Structure formats: C-alpha cells, structure tokens
Amino acid sequence: MLVLAGLGISDEKGITLEELEEARSSDLVFLELYTSIWHGSIENLERIVGKEIQILKRKDLEEEVHK
C-alpha cells in the first residue's frame, strides 16, 4: 500500500497522529522536498518516526519512476 502524507510548511511537529502511525508501521519512508518548502529537521523527523527516511530528489520523481 502507498500512503501519501503532507507535512505542511512548518516542521516535524506538524505531522498528524494518523501520519505518524502510518510511517511507523511502513516498510519504507520517503521524504520529497522539491515541491514544497519545509522548515523541519530530517534527523528529528527520523527520531519521531523511529526509522530512516530516504530523501527523494526531483529526478527520482520525474525520471526514475519505473525503477
């Protein structure tokens, strides 16, 4: 299952409880920062979620979608 969650424009404290539960129960967590400005700390978000977060770049979203 694929779950998309928006963190808004604040920081890692803006994650909802529902989004946090989804991230904690997922196999993989990705963060895309190309389409929005986010003022949070990736390290703090990883600590809150409890797992490593893979950062996606623009090319990952637009050019390498078939991999």
Check residue 67 and give its pLDDT: 61
Ordered domains of the chain (ranges, CATH): 12-62 (3.40.1010.10)
Give pTM, 2 decimals. 0.80
Check residue 28 and give its pLDDT: 93
Check residue 66 and give its pLDDT: 67
Helices (H), 1-67: 17-25, 42-49, 58-62
Compute the distance between CA of residue 64 and CA of residue 62 in angstroms, rounded to an integer.
Answer: 6
The C-alpha angle 41, 2, 28, rounded to 5 degrees, equals: 50
List the chain pLDDT tens, one digit each, 67 residues. 788 888 877 888 888 899 999 999 999 999 988 877 888 999 999 999 999 999 988 888 788 666 6
Check residue 7 and give its pLDDT: 81
